Chain A
Amino acid sequence: MTDKMHVKLNVNGEDHEFLAEPRELLIYALREKLNITGPHVGCDTSHCGACTVTMNGKSVKSCTVFVAQANGAEVTTIEGLGGPDALHILQESFKEHHGLQCGFCTPGMITRATKLLEENPNPTEAEVRFGIAGNICRCTGYQNIVKSILSAAAEMNAAKEAAQ
């Protein structure tokens, strides 16, 4: 057993400080220390992407980051994107286009999609599929997830145009 280290994380705009063993994975720090249980664990080989969060501007699989490495980072999870009373456009779009069934991949999928659309606001269908290839879904067959993301992109672009 090694000594615990003092960890600082900013999650969804809020500062958190806690003690953790360096080996603790970011996903467990989020879920078990901070009770941010939207990001999920779907595998132990870094494939599924259910644990995806945004860390320092990157989509990362939080099961493959030690909390020690994340010390000092800014993290956004699904909880930071929108809530039941004020859904993020992507959250609304997944609801509208039936982009989820069991909902287990959804937090990672939507968090990844926010970053994808930030980097590529006008993706083609192929680019969406390639852009979410690090996120596995067992329920939807992806079709409606792709629709949800393309529709959200169109809506975000229309909103941007209207604002100009």
Chain B
Amino acid sequence: MIPAAFEYYRPTDMEGVIALLQEHGDDARVIAGGHSLIPMMKLRMAEVPHLIDLQAIEGLSGITVADGTISIGAMTTQHDIINSASLAAAAPIMKEAALQIADPQVRYMGTVGGNVANGDPGNDMPGLMQCLNAKFHLTGPDGDRAVDARDFYEAAYMTEREGEEVLTAVSFAAPVGGYAYEKQKRKIGDYATAAAAVQISKADGKVAAASIAMTNLSDTPVWSQTAGAALVGADCGEAAVKAAVTAMLSDIDPTEDNRGPVAFKRHAAGIVLGRAIARAWSRA
């Protein structure tokens, strides 16, 4: 419950953040909503001698939908996502997923950027971002760069982000077709036992394109290219769904914990993916 002491900074521009990260190296971390970092600090699993609060930096939050591209500032909260009419119209899967994350209080504070940068495979947004083929925008001492969500995750808590970089925004093309985020969890606020993000577009009664990503079924989110490909050209009937599930199962690698043994998680993964495909198809 009691975190170790730290120096606190509230810079007002990104240059200030980068300078502090350069000065203090691994001893510095940025804090966004604080709802993964503070719990870890309270358990002394994270020690952060220099804590850099991003709350006073202009331009880090907000949702823009323009020319078919959606851009969401890193400090945009889950609450903001749920309440954005423009986002609900352009990418309704975002609201559907955000409502399955945590609880009201956590959603007022927790941010999209924190969710995707955290690196915990339990987080829901990373898989969703892979499903949507999002780009993550990073700012560091050498300037800006973008990394595909599908290339961002290396292992649990290990990502492509360098220590002196800050994730400033996520962006993706407005998805077309039907969508679903299906999450099996033990209770409100729990990380998924298994969850699936699905986007499906339809042409002439058949699947034109499909993207499938799975949450908390490996040490990273899993974008299953073969599972999506298995649906293309099909009518989303039983055989196609079975093929997609089979493909997905060869891409995941769950571990046993108190959410269940590996065999159960693989079973649950198949169930959530089947349901997500059915719902996405019904909306396509």
- List B residues 51-70 near A (Cβ within 8 Å): 51, 53, 55
Q: What residues of A have a CB within 8 angstroms of the CB of B156 in the complex?
A: none
With beta carbons under 8 angstroms apart, the residue of A41, A46, A66 that contacts B106 is: A46
Residue total for A at the interface (Cβ-Cβ under 8 A): 32
Q: What residues of A have a CB within 8 angstroms of the CB of B102 in the complex?
A: 134
Q: What residues of A have a CB within 8 angstroms of the CB of B284 in the complex?
A: none
Interface residues of B (CB under 8 A from A): 1-8, 10, 31, 34-35, 38-39, 41-43, 51, 53, 55, 79, 102-106, 108-109, 188-189
Residue pairs across A and B with Cβ atoms less than 8 A apart, 26 shown, are A1-B5, A22-B6, A22-B7, A23-B3, A23-B6, A25-B3, A25-B38, A41-B1, A46-B35, A46-B38, A47-B189, A58-B105, A58-B108, A60-B109, A64-B35, A64-B38, A66-B8, A69-B53, A69-B55, A71-B10, A116-B104, A133-B103, A133-B189, A134-B105, A134-B106, A134-B189
Residue of A with least CB distance to B109: A60
Q: What residues of B have a CB within 8 angstroms of the CB of A59 in the complex?
A: 104-105, 108
Compute how far the CA of A1 lies from the CA of B102 in the bound complex, rounded to whole angstroms.
33
Instruction: Check B105–A5 contact: CB distance below 8 A.
Output: no
Q: What residues of B have a CB within 8 angstroms of the CB of A156 in the complex?
A: none
| B1–chain A nearest beta-carbon distance, Å | 4
4 more CB-based (< 8 A) A-B contacts, given A23-B6, A59-B105, A69-B53: A22-B8, A23-B3, A65-B34, A134-B189
Residue of A with least CB distance to B42: A44
Most central of B2, B5, B39, B108 by chain A CB within 10 Å: B108
Residue of A with least CB distance to B104: A134
Compute how far the CA of A60 lies from the CA of B106 in the bound complex, rounded to whole angstroms.
7
* A112 within 8 A of partner (CB): yes
* A2 within 8 A of partner (CB): yes
Per-residue B-contact encoding for A12-53, CB less than 8 Å = 1, 0 else: 000000000111010000000000000001001111010010
